[in-house]
Amino acid sequence: MDKFIVIAGNIGAGKTTLVQILSERLGFTPFYEPHEENPYLADFYEDMESWSYHSQVYFLTRRLKIHKELLLAQGSVVQDRSVYEDAEIFARNLFLQGDLSQRDYNVYQDLYHILASLLPPPNLMVYLRASVDTLMERIAKRGRDYEAGISREYLTRLNALYENWMNNFEQCPVLIINSDDLNLVSSAEHVNQVVNWVQDKLTGRTEVRL
């Protein structure tokens, strides 16, 4: 593996789209989030308290398998969401809202910290910041059945956790992109702009957070 970029962001922020763009424009091998493969996800969104631990352990397991694959990949790689977010955002939110018990949370955190300490950090973390209005609009537009019950309150809590996490993240350089007014699907200008930001940050030519 040469360069390693992680795309971070809330549900509907545009991570998968950006991973595809960077893989096509920069020749990076893409590693996508396995959301549709999680056998617990539909149950989780229906009853978070009953299925949160199962879902988070599954995501952690899958993420670690992906890390193993990307470490063996030739050239540079770009990953759709990382193991850090599973623990720092989603598991923590479930614990704070009472859907993950203290016992289960402690076990999960112990496992996460041990495994994360063995993983090489990315060369760049790209955080796609988006308002809840934008997230709700994008989630509705893509029409995934298991995401239909996601509430504004849930996304708001995740956004707050993302902001706190990004403000304290020190494992690698961070590029923060406000994505509310970006159209990475049909605007060539916006695509070029974001690709340039990523290249500049990756090569150390800029320290600006956008």
H or E segment to which residue 5 belongs? strand 4-9
**Lookup result for tokens 């049909």:** 186
Q: Does the annotation mark 110 as catalytic? A: no
Q: In the chain, which residue ranges form alpha helices assigned H by DSSP?
A: 15-26, 41-46, 48-71, 83-85, 92-96, 102-117, 132-142, 152-168, 188-202
Instruction: Let me know: does 120 contact 71? Beta carbons within 8 Å.
Output: yes
CA dist 86 and 56 (Å) reads: 7
Give me the half-sphere count of Cα atoms (radius 13 Å) on the Cβ side of residue 135.
24
Catalytic residue among 2, 43, 47, 80: 80
Catalytic residues: 80
